[in-house]
């Protein structure tokens, strides 16, 4: 019996049903996948929202209340040459923090201190949670990148408290030779006052666990004062920094000093001090500077007190003296065109000590000489500068040695020597303001009106008996002027027109235009 053939219509209907079932299953699977994706997205968004809320609550909490925390560990990374002990000493304050706020402040302070060592290209401090079994703790990760080039050369214009003019200085530094943050350098310096210096030194930020850095410097100085005071000075010595913090500084100086007169025309008081002398002294400086800028202060105040005692070595040629300097500055904002009034007053006194001190002269290089091309706004440290007067251009004078003219056989006047003073007082006022030009304001170029006054007087060799405060104030030299100030990254340049209000016959100062260069001292 023959088998019936398959019906094509029935076969096609069966295939269509299978395809529809497969399509429906795929659609159901896609819908399930979409549902699962939507659920994952919702879960992720929910987690983000929770995390965002936690951060908001955390930052809101630390802004309004102290959040207690304890530092469990400080992890140091990235140092290959630098000793761990150096970084650990600089980061010790992190473990003293007891709140989040204190930890943030300590981290910022540690970052600044590590960068100030000048041996790292970058410093990164990260706060991480402590071990799970120790709630309320944190780990601090200090990641440093050591400098690639340990050799560094610098050149710039600087001010030194004892100088009466700006100093051009070039320095070559080599960093971190032994891994203790040690900084070795050699320097050459020259200023407009015909003073040259060659020196080499080392800076150790943490020597043998000491809290403060230690510095040592060997120097050779030479200064030509023939034009105004008929002598040359040469010093070879060592300066040792014993104690240094943000506000305090203690330095020990030991130098062999030689005074000569190649011209053989020096006055009698200068001739008595020619020859060799030993300088052994301790110098203590207390400094507070709360001004918003050392180059153009518009707000704040500053105060410096420097005390120096010489004559510590048991040697008859040792220079015995006491020297005190005070300097007070104040910047008052006026509220228009970024204007400000800077006021300053500085004073200094030097006196010998020992048997018969009242009739002895003070050491010539330690006396006060007013004048020079420094800006009093930047010079912080004592009475040194006075607008409009030359370096060593005012104060007590003595006639130089007379010599016999070959043609007339008569004495010829050879001028006078400026011998400096034992008491100095100087004051200034500086009104600074922005120009209307936007381009000048963007460059920091501004104008200023200026006024200064000062005087020096001799007190030693029994001269204090004839000292009169009224006579001292009446003999003040004074000047006023106006100028343009051009600041740069490393120094301040002034083009001023100064008018001398009061001077005396032997003073070396005149009205006119002058340039001055200065950097923060």
Q: Residue 350: its pLDDT value, please?
A: 95
% of the chain at pLDDT higher than 90: 39
Exposure string of 333-361, with b = 16+ CB inside 10 Å and e = fewer, is eeeeeebbebebbbbbbbbbeeeeeeebb
Which residues, in sequence order, are CB contacts of 115 under 8 Å at separation 6+? Answer: 123
- pLDDT for the residue numbered 194: 76
How crowded is residue 266: how many other Cβ atoms within 10 Å of its Cβ?
Answer: 24
Q: For residue 9, what are the CA distances in angstroms to 17, 23, 44, 291, 295?
A: 13, 21, 52, 100, 101
Identify the band that residue 9 occupies on the pLDDT scale cut at 50, 70 and 90.
very low
Among candidate residues 367, 387, 348, 390, the one with its CA nearest the CA of residue 231 = 367
Distances (CA, A) of 315 to 132, 320, 351, 519: 68, 10, 19, 38
Predicted confidence at residue 4, as pLDDT, reads 47
CB 296 within 8 A of CB 485: yes
User: Domains, the chain, ranges and CATH?
Assistant: 54-146 (3.10.20.310), 276-400+416-518 (2.40.160.50)
pLDDT higher at 64 or 281? 281
Res 30: pLDDT: 57
Q: CA 263, 237, 247: angle at the middle one, nearest 5?
A: 115
Q: What is the pLDDT of residue 228?
A: 87
pLDDT score of 382: 84
Name which of 323, 286, 278, 320 is nearest 303 in CA terms. Answer: 286
Strand 70-77 versus strand 137-146 pairing type: parallel
- Would you say residue 109 has pLDDT above 80? yes
Q: What is the pLDDT of residues 215-235, one digit of tens each?
A: 999 999 999 888 888 999 999
159 pLDDT tier (thresholds 50, 70, 90): low
Identify the pLDDT of residue 424. 95
| 59, pLDDT greater than 80 | no
Percentage of the chain lying above the pLDDT 70 cut: 84
Which of 244-253, 340-349, 452-461, 487-496 is predicted least confidently? 487-496
Q: Stretch 502-517: mean pLDDT, rounded?
A: 86
In this prediction, residue 209 has a pLDDT band, given cuts at 50, 70 and 90, of: low
pLDDT level of residue 10 (50, 70, 90 thresholds): very low
pLDDT, tens only, 372-413: 777 888 888 888 888 889 888 888 999 998 765 555 545 445
The answer to whether 495 and 464 are in contact (CB under 8 A) is: no
Residue 161's pLDDT band (cuts 50, 70, 90): very low
User: Mean pLDDT over residues 180-190, rounded?
Assistant: 90
Site of tokens 């050591």: 146
User: Does residue 57 or residue 201 have the better pLDDT?
Assistant: 201
Q: What would the pLDDT profile of 16-38 be if each residue is shown by its tens digit?
A: 555 556 555 665 655 555 555 56
pLDDT over 60 (residue 63): yes
Host H or E run for residue 248: strand 248-260
Give the pLDDT score at 102: 85
Quick one: which of 400, 166, 160 has its CA closest to 285? 160
Mean pLDDT of 3-10: 48
Local structure of residue 6 (DSSP, 8 states): P
Question: pLDDT tens digit string along 292-322?
Answer: 988 889 999 999 999 999 998 887 778 899 9
The confidence band for 188, taking pLDDT boundaries of 50, 70 and 90, is very high
Is 253:213 a contact under the CB 8 Å cutoff? no
Q: What share of residues in the chain are helix, strand, coil (percent, to 5)?
A: 20, 45, 35
| Stretch 91-115: mean pLDDT | 87
Sign of the four-CA dihedral 259, 262, 266, 272 = positive
Beta strands 411-412 and 416-418, pairing class: unpaired
Least confident of 92-96, 387-391, 441-445, 487-491: 487-491
pLDDT at residue number 100: 82
Q: CA 70: distance to chain centroid?
A: 35
Radius of gyration (C-alpha) of the chain in whole angstroms: 36
The mean pLDDT value of the chain amounts to 84
Structure tokens at 488: 């740069």
């Amino acid at each position: 019996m023959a088998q019936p053939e398959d019906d094509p219509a029935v076969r096609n209907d069966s295939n269509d049903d299978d395809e529809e079932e497969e399509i429906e299953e795929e659609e159901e699977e896609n819908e399930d996948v979409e549902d699962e994706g939507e659920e994952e997205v919702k879960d992720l968004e929910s987690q983000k929202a929770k995390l965002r809320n936690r951060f908001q609550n955390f930052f809101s909490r630390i802004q309004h209340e102290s959040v207690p925390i304890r530092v469990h560990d400080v992890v140091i990374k990235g140092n290959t040459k630098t000793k761990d002990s150096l970084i650990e000493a600089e980061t010790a304050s992190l473990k003293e923090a007891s709140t989040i706020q204190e930890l943030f402040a300590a981290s910022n302070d540690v970052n600044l201190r590590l960068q100030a060592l000048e041996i790292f290209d970058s410093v990164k401090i990260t706060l991480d949670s402590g071990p799970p079994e120790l709630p309320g703790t944190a780990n601090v990760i200090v990641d440093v990148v050591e400098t690639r080039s340990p050799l560094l050369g610098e050149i710039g214009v600087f001010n030194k408290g004892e100088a009466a003019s700006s100093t051009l200085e070039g320095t070559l530094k080599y960093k971190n030779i032994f891994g203790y943050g040690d900084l070795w350098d050699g320097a050459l310096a020259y200023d407009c006052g015909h003073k040259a210096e060659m020196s080499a030194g080392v800076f150790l930020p943490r020597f043998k666990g000491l809290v403060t850095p230690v510095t040592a410097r060997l120097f050779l100085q030479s200064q030509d004062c023939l034009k105004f005071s008929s002598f040359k000075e040469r010093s070879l010595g060592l300066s040792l920094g014993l104690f240094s913090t943000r506000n305090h500084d203690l330095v020990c100086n030991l130098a062999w000093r030689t005074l000569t007169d190649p011209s053989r025309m020096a006055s009698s008081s200068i001739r008595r001090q020619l020859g060799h002398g030993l300088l052994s002294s301790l110098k203590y400086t207390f400094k507070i500077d709360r001004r918003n800028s050392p180059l153009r202060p518009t707000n704040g105040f500053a105060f410096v007190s420097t005390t120096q005692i010489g004559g510590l070595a048991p040697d008859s040629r040792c220079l015995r003296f006491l020297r005190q300097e005070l300097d007070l500055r104040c910047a008052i904002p006026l509220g228009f065109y970024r204007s400000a009034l800077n006021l300053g007053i500085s004073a200094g006194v030097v006196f010998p000590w020992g048997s018969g001190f009242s009739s002895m002269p003070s050491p010539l290089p330690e006396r006060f000489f007013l004048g020079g091309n420094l800006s009093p706004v930047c010079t912080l440290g004592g009475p040194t500068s006075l607008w409009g007067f030359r370096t060593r251009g005012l104060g007590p004078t003595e006639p130089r040695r007379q010599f016999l003219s070959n043609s007339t056989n008569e004495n010829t006047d050879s001028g006078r020597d400026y011998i400096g003073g034992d008491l100095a007082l100087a004051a200034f006022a500086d009104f600074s303001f922005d120009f209307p030009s936007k381009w000048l304001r963007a460059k920091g170029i501004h104008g200023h009106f200026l006024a200064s006054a000062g005087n020096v007087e001799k007190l030693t060799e029994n001269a204090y008996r004839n000292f009169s405060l009224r006579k001292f104030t009446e003999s003040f030299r004074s000047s006023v002027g106006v100028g343009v100030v051009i600041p740069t990254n490393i120094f301040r340049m002034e083009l001023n027109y100064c008018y001398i209000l009061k001077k005396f016959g032997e003073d070396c100062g005149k009205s006119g235009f002058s340039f001055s260069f200065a950097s923060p001292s």
